[in-house]
Amino acid sequence: MPDDGREVVRVRGVVKDVRPGLGLRRKRILHGISLTVHRGEIFGFVGPNGAGKTTMLKVLMGLIRASSGRATVLGHDVGETEFRRQVGFLPENPYFYDYLTGREILRFYARLSGVRAAAMDKRVATLLDWVQLSDAADARLRTYSKGMLQRIGIAQALIHDPEVVFLDEPMSGLDPIGRKQIRDLILRLKRAGKTVFMNTHILSDVEMLCDRVAILVAGRIRFQGRLEDFLDGDERESDVVLSGLPADLASRFEERYGAELRGHGTRVELRVKEKEVADLLRAALEAGAEVQSVTAYRISLESIFMRAVESAEESS
């Protein structure tokens, strides 16, 4: 067994074909997905609409079967059922009986997932508090806003204190305050040592939350790893702002250090490779310029994402 206890999710070569309709040709949605999620990690499964994120999640939840390949969660094949008590799941469009109240629906799911009767009321109250629905606990779901429903969905996923939680677009339909509440909740799970797998396309949330990501484009993973590892040290860049730099020198720097020059006149900003910074600063100071600032330039997830989508388009 390759699982050493640290691998909470292990997917190897998962392919999913569907037949869109009677007599129609088979369509491949997942083209051999392999990924690993470690214990205690917040993992972002990121990709544009239609990439196959929900399909992968359905395979992991045992709701549909992979056409080939293998997927395990907590060391169990996803086809097994017994280990599911340790798993929480927020589906993409959760559906609830809307004549029940928030408290009732959580009690319902608590019973379903085997929470002990003695512990139930306290657990339900705790979850309502975590998702800030204590005040609305006894109102029917029919009266809930979209954001409130999304939060009750998350409470439902966590009611039985699972080891690993799968969230399909947890921030969907939430305003910035609601998103912050969910982010805080996800970080609380991480502090408690839980593992979180989330599907999303909200890149800023991923940047703030995720330890590692996989970028899925058209059913293929284009990047997987820690965001900061995407660029190796040689490629890291810094923004250097200088004032009082003689004009001819700025363009000479452009050439000599392969710098990207912005701004005109005596105040300029140069983006240079990290390894060139010291040299450039020395030359600038010698020429009588003043150094205003040096800031490490962090590649954004957005640029990684756009690159992944573009290279997928080129190769298709």
One residue of 2, 22, 49, 81 binding ligand ATP per CB under 6 A: 49
User: How many residues of this chain bind Mg ion (CB under 5 A)?
Assistant: 3
- 172 lies in the binding site for ligand ATP (CB under 6 A): no
Q: Which one of the spans 49-57, 72-80, 147-155, 252-260 is the region binding ligand ATP (CB under 6 A)? A: 49-57
Q: Provide, rounded to whole angstroms, the least separation between the CB of residue 138 and ligand ATP.
A: 33
CA–CA distance from 151 to each of 77, 89, 101, 128, 168 (Å)?
29, 13, 13, 9, 13
One residue of 54, 150, 195, 200 binding Mg ion per CB under 5 A: 54
- 55 lies in the binding site for ligand ATP (CB under 6 A): yes
Q: Which one of the spans 42-50, 183-191, 227-235, 303-311 is the region binding ligand ATP (CB under 6 A)? A: 42-50
- 81 lies in the binding site for ligand ATP (CB under 6 A): no
Nearer to Mg ion, 54 or 150 (CB): 54
- 55 lies in the binding site for Mg ion (CB under 5 A): no
What is the token pair recorded at 313? 């388009």
- 51 lies in the binding site for ligand ATP (CB under 6 A): yes
CA–chain centroid gap for 140, Å, is 31
Q: Provide, rounded to whole angstroms, the least separation between the CB of residue 214 and Mg ion.
A: 14
Within residues 230-269, the interface with Mg ion by CB under 5 A covers: none
Q: Provide, rounded to whole angstroms, the least separation between the CB of residue 29 and Mg ion.
A: 11
- 202 lies in the binding site for ligand ATP (CB under 6 A): no
- The C-alpha angle 81, 82, 84, rounded to 5 degrees, equals 70
One residue of 35, 43, 52, 181 binding ligand ATP per CB under 6 A: 52
Residue 36 binds which of ligand ATP, Mg ion, none (CB < 5-8 A, kind-dependent): none
Spatial distance between the Cα atoms of 112 and 162, rounded to a whole number of angstroms: 13
Radius of gyration of the chain (CA): 25
In terms of Cα–Cα distance, which of 7, 3, 60 is closest to 30? 60
Site string for Mg ion, 8-47 (x = CB under 5 A): ----------------------------------------
Nearer to ligand ATP, 33 or 73 (CB): 33
Q: Provide, rounded to whole angstroms, the least separation between the CB of residue 211 and ligand ATP.
A: 21
Q: What is the SS3 assignment for the chain? A: CCCCCCEEEEEEEEEEEECCCCCCCCEEEEEEEEEEEECCCEEEEECCCCCCHHHHHHHHCCCCCCCEEEEEECCEECCCCHHHHHEEEECCCCCCCCCCEHHHHHHHHHHHCCCCHHHHHHHHHHHHHHCCCHHHCCCEHHHCCHHHHHHHHHHHHHCCCCCEEEEECCCCCCCHHHHHHHHHHHHHHHHCCCEEEEEECCHHHHHHHCCEEEEEECCEEEEEECHHHCCCHHHCEEEEEEECCCHHHHHHHHHHCCCEEECCCCEEEEEEEHHHHHHHHHHHHHCCCEEEEEEEECCCHHHHHHHHHHHHHHHC
Q: Provide, rounded to whole angstroms, the least separation between the CB of residue 260 and ligand ATP.
A: 34
Residue 52 binds which of ligand ATP, Mg ion, none (CB < 5-8 A, kind-dependent): ligand ATP
- 53 lies in the binding site for ligand ATP (CB under 6 A): yes
Residue 146 binds which of Mg ion, ligand ATP, none (CB < 5-8 A, kind-dependent): none
Residues forming contacts to ligand ATP in the complex (CB under 6 A) are 18, 20, 27, 29, 47, 49-55, 92, 201
Residues forming contacts to Mg ion in the complex (CB under 5 A) are 53-54, 92
